[in-house]
Amino acid sequence: MDKLVVLITGASSGIGLRTATDLAKAGYTVYAGARRVEQMQPIVQAGGHALALDVTDDASMQAAVDAVMKAEGRIDVLVNNAGYGLYGAVEEIPMEAARKQVDTNIFGLARMTQLVLPHMRARKSGRIVNISSIGGTIHTPLGAWYHGTKWFVEGFTNSLRLELEDKGIHPILVAPGLIATGFSGGVSDQLQRHSMNGPYADLARGIGAAANRNGGGSDPKGVSDAIRRAIEDARPRTIYRPGRMGRLLPFLRRALPHRWFDRLMLRAIR
């Protein structure tokens, strides 16, 4: 059997870099896409391929898919990993920043999915692994834009699964918990930029301190392993939840009334 061809977005750091490198070492044919091509050398050294890819640019996305199809003739797996977290009060975050968050986390994922589906449908096989987060199930203060995008990813993937049930294509969610990828540092930077000096400063300082306390998340290998299971399992789950708090916090969110969970979140940052 030919090696599966995997296209991964957002592969220049964190989960994407680790997953692309691990899959290349495991023998997959890996095409890793990101804007910072120079940071994907570990993937190339592992036997993968680095592509320039900006998921906010339609021509860039089309070119990346076309390059893989020209080289390999198929795309067996798309891992929609590109994304980041925008944090700050809704009142204070500029709409330009909010649009960039939505463009990257929502429209980039959706457009990449659109571009690979005709090829997968023609072969009557394929897997689309969408990277969500516990942030797609729970909610935290000053994270409205980020959580909104991740809730979209979960709803989008669940609906897509119904559309593709008879076409041999499996949309799958991977929703990590707390992972040691530098995300917490990014949260602190965003809070400093948007909400550390205004009416939400006390809340921002509390969230920043909590993010730093919780910065020691699980090794990204756990997410890489979950993505590989999503690719290889004969009957994949609809959702995989690797990483610290990956199961506990979504369980508490489902088990507790909204107000109780709200108090739990506020208590954790005060």
Domain limits, the chain: 5-181+217-247
The verdict on whether 25 is a catalytic residue reads no
Catalytic hit among 150, 184, 218, 240: 150
Task: Note the pLDDT of residue 252.
Answer: 93
Nearest to 76, CA basis, from 116, 130, 16: 116
* CB count in 10 Å sphere of residue 26: 16
For 105, half-sphere exposure in the C-beta direction (CA atoms, 13 angstrom radius) is 25
User: Quick one: 242 exposed, middle or buried, by C-beta within 10 A (0-12, 13-18, 19+)?
Assistant: buried
Among 104-113, 130-139, 190-199, 257-266, the minimum mean pLDDT is found in: 190-199
Residue 150 known to be catalytic: yes
pLDDT tens digits along 116-129: 999 999 999 999 99
Q: Which two tokens stand for residue 116?
A: 């690979």
- List 12, 195, 218, 224, catalytic entry: 12
CATH 3.40.50.720 assigned to domain 5-181+217-247? The reply is yes
Q: Spot the catalytic one: 28, 31, 87, 146.
A: 146
**Residues 10-34: what's their mean pLDDT?**
96
Please confirm, yes or no, whether 12 is among the known catalytic residues. yes
pLDDT at 55 over 70: yes
Task: Name the pTM for this structure.
Answer: 0.92
